[in-house]
Amino acid sequence: MSEFEIQNNEWRKRNTAESRENSIEGREKTPDEQEKKAAARERAEKVSKEVQSTQKQMQNIMANMQQVIKAVQAIRAQLKLTTNAAIPSVVRDQKAVDALQKKLDNLRGELGDLRQALIIELKKDVGQQHPQMNESELENEASKRADSTLRDLGLV
C-alpha cells in the first residue's frame, strides 16, 4: 500500500470516529434540551399554583376583614359608640394582605422572567424547524408559542 493510501485510510478512520462522537453528542444534547424545557414548564406550573394560592388567600382574608368590620360596626352601633378606632384584627389582616400582595408581585415578576426564558428556548427550536425565518419572525413565533403554553397553564 502506498503512503497516500495509508494516510487516506487513517483519515477515514478518524473521520468515522469523529462522526460517531458527533452522533453520540447529538443524541446526548437532545434530552438535555428537553429536560430544560420540562424544567421550565415545571417551574412555571409551580409559580402559577403559588400565584393562584396567594390570590385565594388574599380573597379569603379580604372577605374575613369585611365580615369583622361589619360585625364591629354593628356592635358599636348597639353600644352607641361613636369612636372609629382601628380594629386590631383588621390591622393584622391588612398587614397580611400587604405581605401577600408583595409576594404576588414577586411571583408575577418571576413569571415574566420564566416567560422570557421560555421564549429564548422556543426561539432556538423554531430556528431549527424553520431556518428560513428572520430574527423578528423567530421572536414573534416564539412569543406566540410561549403565550400559548402559559395560557394552557392558566397563567394568561
Is the pLDDT at 33 greater than 80, yes or no? no
Q: What pLDDT does 37 receive?
A: 72
**Mean pLDDT, residues 4-23:** 66
What DSSP assignment string belongs to the chain?
Answer: --HHHHHHHHHHHHHHHHHHHHHHHHHHHHHHHHHHHHHHHHHHHHHHHHHHHHHHHHHHHHHHHHHHHHHHHHHHHHHT----PPPHHHHHHHHHHHHHHHHHHHHHHHHHHHHHHHHHHHHHHHHHH-TT--HHHHHHHHHHHHHHHHHHTT--
Query: pLDDT digits over 142-152, tens only?
Result: 899 888 887 88
Q: What pLDDT does 100 receive?
A: 92
pTM (predicted TM-score): 0.59
Q: What pLDDT does 52 receive?
A: 85
Query: pLDDT digits over 124-141, tens only?
Result: 888 888 889 888 888 999
Instruction: Report the alpha-carbon distance of residue 122 to residue 146 in Å, rounded.
Output: 7
- Supply the range of the domain harboring residue 88: 3-152
In the chain, the number of structural domains is 1
Q: What pLDDT does 28 receive?
A: 55
